Amino acid sequence: MSKYVLVLVICSIPFSACMRKNVCKTIEDYRTIEHNPNCWYNPDVGASPAEIIKGHGYPFESYEVVTKDGYIVTLFRVPHNGTNFGAKKPVVFLQHGMAVDSSCYLYLGEKSSVFVFANNGYDVWLSNSRGTKYSSKHNKYSVYDPAYWNFSFHEMAIYDLPAMLEFIIKMTGQTGHIHYIGHSMGTTISYIYSSLMPQHAKRSLRTIVSLAPVAFLDHVSPLVRAIVPFRYLIWDFFASLGLYGVGPNVQFKLDIVLQMCARYPFILICSNLGDLAGTNQAENRASTLPVSAAAQLSGISLKTLLHYAQIIDARGRFQYFDYGPYNRKIYNSTLPPEYPIYKIKIPVYLFYGRRDLLATEKDVYHLYEKLKTEKRIMEVFNFGHNNFLSGLHALDLYQMILKLIQ
């Protein structure tokens, strides 16, 4: 037993102290990481967004915002690139996906989207939704209280996002001019918010840019669909353990993941984890795997997973959370209502990947047909679900977005 305790103690030491070289050019290079010239030390591995941003020479600001239902969420800001400050700048708002936080927009170091936008004259704001590492506080509950985790992306859309946007407008004066860029669940949040609160959205946003859009989930991978019938058994199992969410209350997992994802052969597992959601190995950057591994499981509620599973099972319905026998009391209907995405008034631009098994081509076109606002399906990339954040051609994507919003 003692030797396992010792391993955990060693791996709780800052990663740079455990192993100076922590990233490599190729997967195969990780075999001989200690002596391989294709491997080097990257200080971004295991670093916070503040450390990464300031480490690359950019200004960093952090703000706490209280939502109407008592959650305290954190916004990060890169107001300029250190030289082009002074004049009022257009705002870019970056919303992360499920089980990660704002770190996902910093996987590529100095080539990350945050810095691309800042270098092109944008005031960049990064969301950290409720339950994540940087937004784990509540006026009443702690992350150890089951009541804290009683939310899905629905609450993020109707509480977190409006509060964040109102704060940004107050700070910048950019009413109706914020460019919203979301990935995966970040797109789901934007559709719910702008359909249920269309006037608020019109006062706040200028465009919605969707990377790997997730609304309808009729054509997800067979492996994902195979899990769906067991969703309530899984819920009951974790509920019996008193576990309704995974997040900042189990931070030791990050040390273990960091150690695993910079060691051969374990890095092979990390590099293939994306296969469940669809990936293109040719787009993967071996050097970013330890960086992205550190940001995984930042925080997720069990209810969020269950909500997505319900939508998969609903076959063609982008719907509210299904409370079963309580639907009649809550919604005055036996079925949960569908989100009225036809009410969205903000221009929506959809980017999807050919290898994506969650945001599939058929489902994205289904969403496109349902939207009644100005809309476009942009050039298709040969991306898997997470290649939008760290793929070899991610910079090409950012340049396309820049041209679009400019």
Measured between alpha carbons, how far is 351 from 399 in angstroms, rounded to an integer? 13
Measured between alpha carbons, how far is 307 from 189 in angstroms, rounded to an integer? 13
Q: Are 23 and 290 in contact (CB under 8 A)?
A: yes
Output 193-199 pairs: Cβ under 8 A, ≥24 positions apart: 193/157, 193/158, 193/161, 193/162, 194/343, 194/344, 194/345, 194/346, 195/339, 195/340, 195/341, 195/342, 195/343, 195/344, 196/157, 196/158, 196/339, 196/340, 196/343, 197/158, 197/162, 198/343, 198/344, 198/345
289, β-bridge pairs: none
- Those residues whose C-beta lies under 8 Å from the C-beta of residue 390, and which sit 6 or more positions away, are 107, 108, 284, 285, 288, 291, 292
Cis peptide before 265 (omega within 30 of 0): yes
- Report the candidate in 133, 150, 146 with the shortest Cα–Cα distance to residue 247: 133
DSSP assignment of 20-56 equals: S--EESSTGGGGGTTT-TTEE--TTTT--HHHHHHHT
401's tokens: 């977005």
Phi-psi sector, 297: left (phi>0), alpha (psi -120 to 50), beta = left
Q: What angle do CA 151, 157, 158 make, to 5 degrees?
A: 85
The dihedral built from the CA positions of residue 391, 396, 397 and 399, taken in this order, carries a sign that is positive
Q: What angle do CA 124, 169, 81 make, to 5 degrees?
A: 20
- Those residues whose C-beta lies under 8 Å from the C-beta of residue 229, and which sit 6 or more positions away, are 313
Which sequence positions are flagged as catalytic? 184, 356, 385
